[in-house]
Structure 1
Amino acid sequence: MLSALIKSMRPRQWSKNVFVLAAVVFDKKLLNPEAVSKSLAGMILFCLISSSVYLINDILDAEADRNHPQKRNRPIASGKLPIPVAAAAAIGIIVITIPLSFLLSTLFGWIAFVYFLVNLAYSTRLKHIPLIDVLIIAAGFVLRVAAGVSLIEVERFSPWLYVVTTLLALYIGFGKRRAELTLLQNDANNHRRVLDGYNLTLLDQLITIVSGTTIVAYSLYTFSAPNLPDNHSMMLTIPFVIYGIFRYLYLIQVEQAGGAPEDIVLTDRPLQATILLWGLSVLFVFYLN
C-alpha cells in the first residue's frame, strides 16, 4: 500500500517545482548558502503540497479514470490504494506543510496556501472550463516562481521571467490538451469533460500563438533584464529555447506525445540535452562570464 501511496503522490511530477529555484538562479544567488537552502526547502514543501493536490484530484476523478485507457491503472482508480487512506494522507500532508511554509517565510506561506486553494478549485471545478483550465495551470507555475522570490532578498529579478513562465506553461498546457484529444479521439469528452470545449484546430492556433510569443518574450528578457551582462551574452541561450519549443511541438504533433509533459522531459534525449545545454549556458553567463 505504501508503494501505491507514493505512486499516487506522483513524484515524477515534482520536476515542475524546480521553478521555485528560478529566483535563486536568475538573481545570481547560487553562491549564497542561505538563499540556496531556503529555496530548496521551499521546493520540497511545494512538492509535498502538490502531492496532496494529486491525491485529492485522483479521489475526485476515480470513477472517470476507470474509463480512461491509461489513467485506469492509477492506484486509486484501480483499487490498489483505498480512498480513505488517500484522503487521510492528503489531509495529513497539508496539516504539516502549510504551517512549515509559514515558518519558512510568512509571504511564502501565504503563496503556498493560495497555491493549494487554487489547485483545489481546479480539481473540483475549474478544470472543466475550457481555457480557464490551462490558465489555472499557468498560474500554478507563476506562483511557484513567486514563492521562490519570496524566500530570498531579491535584488534584480526581472519581471520578464514571470511573462516567460506564464507563456511556457500555457504552451505546455495546450500541448497536453492536444495530446489528450488525439489519444481519446471521438470519446474524449466522456473521459475529460473539458475536452468537449476544444478541437485540434483551436488548440493548434493557441499553441502557435503562445509558442511564438514565448520565444519573443524570452528574447526580450535576454537583452533588457537589468542584471544581465552588458555584452548581451545571454542572447546566446536563445537558440536552445527555440529548439526546445520546436522539439516539443514536433513531439505532440508528429509523435503524438505530450499527454504527460513530465514523462517527455524525463525520457526524450534531445529535449534533455537542450535543457542541459541551456542550463549550462545560463550558469556560464551569470557566474563565469
Structure 2
Amino acid sequence: MKNNIINRRTVLRTSALTILGLSFPSVTWAEQKSNIKMSKHFPNIPPEIIEEVVGKSHFDLDGVKSLVEKRPELSRSVWEWRFGDFESAIGAASHVGRRDIALYLMSKGARPTLFTFTMLGHFNVVKSAIEATPGIQETTGPHGISLLDHAYAGERMKDQMTKSEIESLEQTIDYLSGLGNANGTDYINVSSEEQKKYLGDYKYGQGENDGFTIGVNMRKLLSLGPIGGFGGALYKIGDNLFTYNGTPSVTISFNIQKDKVKSLTLTEPDITLIAEKI
C-alpha cells in the first residue's frame, strides 16, 4: 500500500508539472550527479565559448561553424574585450571584411548592423539608414573602427564577389567618402619612431598579472593589453594622452621625464591607477 501511495503521488506530481509545461526526463538525482557535469555558469553559456565564437569570427569560418551548428544562438554572441569595448560575432566578421563568415552567421540568426550592410556593400540600405538618421555615419563600430573603414574592408573578398556586388560596394564607398564625416574621429598620428618610447611592460601591483603591455597591433597602432597579451588600440588625443579602442570614458596618459616614459596613468569612470614602466 505504501509503495502504491508513493507511486500515485509521483504520477499526480508529474501530471501537474506536465500541464504547466515543466515535465522532466526520468533521471534520478543520483544519476544526474554521477553523469552530468554542470558548468559553474549554468544555465548561462560558459563565457569562454562566447569569447571563442567572437574571436574566431575574425578569421576562421570552419571554427565558427563547429561551434554554431550545434547551438545556432551562438551566432548572436557578444563579447566585451576590455573597458567596454563590446563586439559581436557578426561585428568581428564585418570589420575585417569576412563576408563569408558574416553571411553564415546571418543564416544562423545573427543580427546584422549598419556596419555589416556597409561591409557587404548594400548601398540602398546604408543610404536609407543615414537619410533616416542623419549623423549616424559618425558612429564607430567595434574598436572605434569607422563606417567607411568597414566599407573598405568589404573589398577584401572581391575575388569571390559578383560584378553587381562589387559595383554596389564601390557605390557605397563613394557615397560614404562624399559625406566627409563617415571616417571616424580624426586622431593625432603617432609615427613608428614616436611609438618606440611607449613600448614595454608597466606594473601597478605585486601580482604576476598586475600590469599592462604597450605594444603595436596588426593595424600598426599602439595597443594596451595584459602583460604579455594582445591589446586594444590606443588613439592619441593629446600630448602623451590616448583613449582606449573607441571607449571615450577611458584615457591613458604617459608620464615623461627627461624624454623617457616613467609610468602610465589609466583613468576610467570608477578607477584611476598608475603603472610604473619596468
Query: Whose strand proportion is higher, 1 or 2?
Result: 2
Kindly indicate whether structure 1 or structure 2 has the higher relative contact order, using CA contacts under 8 Å at least 6 residues apart: 1
Larger of the two Rg values belongs to structure: 2
Work out whether the TM-score is over 0.5: no
TM-score (ref. length: structure 2)? 0.30
Query: Whose helix proportion is higher, 1 or 2?
Result: 1
